[in-house]
Chain A
Amino acid sequence: MPVGSQSSGSGNSGIMDSTDRPEIEIRGLHKSFGDNHVLRGIDLDIARGEVVCVIGPSGSGKSTLLRCVNLLEEPTAGQVFVGGTEVTDLDVDIDAVRRRIGMVFQQFNLFPHISVTENLTLPQRRVLRRNKAKAGEVARRNLERVGLSDKADAFPSQLSGGQQQRVAIARALSMGPEVMLFDEPTSALDPELVGDVLAVMRQLAAEGMTMMVVTHEMSFAREVADRVVFMDDGVIVEEGPAERVVGDPQHERTRNFLMRILDPAAAEQPGETGSEGPAKEL
């Protein structure tokens, strides 16, 4: 049984005044799966309206970090606050907190047995207790927002991956979240479909949504993110303005990662010739 939180402060930390606090605060976060220590002490603040992209090699713990924010994974130690509420507090109503946090998955996870519109209205009606008319109105507005008004009556299986992902974003937005989490939203898409999804996310960022995005899309990170966080091996190696982290990384590990992801062909060469590349620190 993992310990829910190691609250060092007093018990009333969850009801602190939230006006000048970051939207997301992560403090000393650890997560282990058995012997596998995936997150080894993460501290991260995300301000209201800020867009933060989390990058890093697979297995670096970036998805786990994201999933700890809405407690899809329960941290082994540490604290997470969203909008001033301590998510990791065992006494907090996690369902109520999750309503304020939209989440978009790599695999879309639309409900396949109901139509697009019902995908958007069912959570509103069951969770927020909105009536049919209100839920339908919100659904229409959000489908329009992602440019899929004409797919309202389609079923998820009739849509392309990119369309499904945009519906998934609209579904999350229909709950009126204060924060949006994106877990590699374009990784499962055919390359030609990535653009539409990124366009929706770009627009969302422009509207001032607080966003935490785990992604491999460096151009998106560079263009949209206020800040980029590079993770490796369960720790934050480097963070800062997108231009600096992606354009002029300070750490060797960041440089290696970016080299591999931006130009896979070039990155393979030093490995093959053995000596040409910069010395590996690992």
Chain B
Amino acid sequence: MTSRLTRRQRRRVSQGIQYAVFVAALVVVGLLADWDRLQNQFAQKDLASELFPAIITTALRNTVVYTVSGFVFGLVLGLVIALMRLSSVAPYRWVAGVYIEIFRGLPALLIFIFVGVAVPLAFPGTEIPGGTYGKVALGLGLVAAAYMAETIRAGIQAVPKGQMEAARSLGFSHARAMVSVIIPQAFRIVIPPLTNELVLLFKDSSLVLFLGVTLEERELTKFGRDLASQTANSTPILVAGLCYLLVTVPLSFVVRRLEARADRAR
């Protein structure tokens, strides 16, 4: 019988069925869910409003500070490792390769625990400068550097060979050509993937949860969890989640735009 349908009719039937399933699912969820309970647990308005302004001025601010400091540290270290990876001196290449494999192969949480717990245990008295902020920058940066190094290396190699030849034939030394000509171009190539890395770091900053921080040093996740247990209500976690999305969704949008632009330029 179906074989008698025209292609247009068949397409219409198929679409109709898909919409029907979708609406049915919505109806089922709407009828079965305990909306009062959900609202009470996740979206209490007065509880949510009590979170402000601290969730912005302290928690979101700290998340941003941790992320940015980790990103900057990771970027500098990543650039150094990328250049080592491209070095003509073999031991530099080995060291960089080993670093990248190790730090990409370990869970970020383990590195955080290493920085926050293992190092102070092993070397009592050693202080990582900057206190918690320093520790977080170090933990995030060490991980980020491994990923960024590979990104930056690929970016440098994507700059056409003729650019280095042109610079060298103008009398630039290799190092000066790298700094003045190659790296600026490489960075334009890697801006989209680096922005992606920024989004990842923004989320990974939640690992601060495991470091043991003071009230003023709490970031979004710890802040949300602490208040959730204080109030025996999940609303703070939901609000904290929304705060993350407030940053990550626009950033992802920017990345897509940058990637589209880079594709067009190619």
A and B found bound together = yes
Which residues from chain A sit less than 8 Å from chain B, CB to CB? Answer: 70, 72, 95-96, 98-99, 101-103, 105, 107, 109-113, 122-123, 126-128, 168, 171-172, 175
Q: Pick the contact of A72 from B165, B173, B180, B184 — CB < 8 Å?
A: B165
Which of B170, B185, B188 makes the CB contact (< 8 A) with A127?
A: B170
Contact at B171–A175, with CB atoms within 8 Å? yes
Closest to A122 in B: B180
B170 to chain A, nearest CB (A): 4
Q: From A96, A112, A172, give the contact of B170 (CB < 8 A).
A: A172
Contact, CB under 8 Å: A111 / B171? no
Count residues of chain B with CB under 8 A from any CB of chain A: 18
Please tell me if the beta carbons of B171 and A107 are within 8 angstroms of each other in the complex. Answer: no
Against A, the Cβ 8 Å flags (1 = close, 0 = not) of B154-189 are 000000101101111111110010001100110010
Q: How far is the CA of A24 from the CA of B173 in the complex (A)?
A: 23
Assess A70 versus B170: contact at CB under 8 Å? Given A105-B162, A113-B188. no
Q: In the assembled complex, how far is the CB of residue B107 from the closest CB belonging to chain A, in whole angstroms?
A: 38
Chain A residue at smallest Cβ distance from B176: A126
Cα A103 to Cα B169 with chains together (Å): 6
Q: When chains A and B are docked, how far (Å) is the Cα of A202 from the Cα of B242? A: 67
Q: How far is the CA of A82 from the CA of B107 in the complex (A)?
A: 57
13 contacts between A and B (CB under 8 A): A95-B173, A99-B171, A102-B169, A105-B162, A107-B160, A107-B162, A109-B162, A111-B166, A111-B185, A113-B188, A126-B180, A127-B170, A175-B170
- Determine the distance from Cα of A109 to Cα of B164 in the docked complex, in whole angstroms: 9
- The minimal Cβ–Cβ distance linking B162 to chain A, given in whole angstroms, is 4
Of all chain B residues, the one with the shortest Cβ separation from A124 is: B170
How many A-B pairs have beta carbons closer than 8 Å: the answer is 59
Complex contacts, A112 vs chain B, CB 8 Å = 185
Could you tell me if A113 and B185 are in contact, using CB atoms closer than 8 angstroms?
Answer: yes
Looking at the complex, which one of A70, A126, A172 makes contact with B172 (CB distance below 8 Å)? A126
By a CB distance below 8 angstroms, the chain A residues around B176 are 126-127
Contact A111:B173 (CB < 8 A) given known A72-B165, A72-B168, A105-B166: no
Could you tell me the distance between the alpha carbons of A102 and B171 in the complex, rounded to whole angstroms? 9
- Contact, CB under 8 Å: B169 / A70: yes
Query: Is there contact, CB below 8 Å, between B168 and A111?
Result: no
Known: A72-B169, A99-B171. 12 other contacts (CB 8 A): A72-B165, A72-B168, A95-B171, A98-B169, A99-B170, A101-B169, A103-B169, A109-B160, A109-B165, A111-B181, A112-B185, A175-B170
Question: Chain B nearest CB: distance from A112 CB in Å?
Answer: 7
* A55 CB, nearest partner CB in chain B, Å: 22
Q: Do the beta carbons of B165 and A171 come within 8 Å of each other? A: no
- B88 CB to nearest A CB, Å: 12
What is the CB-to-nearest-CB distance from A20 to chain B, in angstroms, rounded to a whole number? 26
> Which residue of B has the minimal Cβ distance to A171?
B170
Of listed B169, B173, B181, B188, residue having the most chain A CB within 10 A: B169
Task: Report the Cα distance A111→B181, complex, angstroms.
Answer: 7
Chain B proximity of A169: nearest CB distance (Å): 12
A40 to B168, CA, bound (A): 26
> Among the listed A72, A96, A105, A113, which residue makes an inter-chain contact with B171, where contact means beta carbons less than 8 Å apart?
A96
Chain B residue nearest to A96 (CB atoms) is: B171
B185 touches A123 (CB 8 A): no
Q: How far is the CB of B24 from chain A (nearest CB, A)?
A: 54
**A119–chain B nearest beta-carbon distance, Å:** 10
Per the bound structure, the CA–CA distance linking A72 and B177 in Å amounts to 14
CB-CB under 8 A from A168, the residues of chain B are 166
**Contact yes or no, A109 B171, CB < 8 A:** no
CA distance A107 to B163 in the complex (A): 10
Q: Do residues B170 and A98 form an inter-chain contact, with CB atoms below 8 A? A: yes
A127 to B162, Cβ gap below 8 A? no
Chain A contacts for B184, CB-based, 8 A: 113
Question: Which residue from chain B places its CB closest to the CB of A175 in the assembled complex?
Answer: B170
In the assembled complex, which residues on chain B have CB atoms less than 8 Å from the CB atom of A127?
170-172, 176
Tell me the complex Cα distance, A105–B169, Å.
10
**Beta-carbon contacts under 8 Å, B28-78 to A:** none
B172 and A95: CB pair below 8 A? yes
A147 to B180 CA separation, bound complex (whole angstroms): 27
Within 8 Å CB of B166, what residues of A? Answer: 103, 105, 109-111, 168
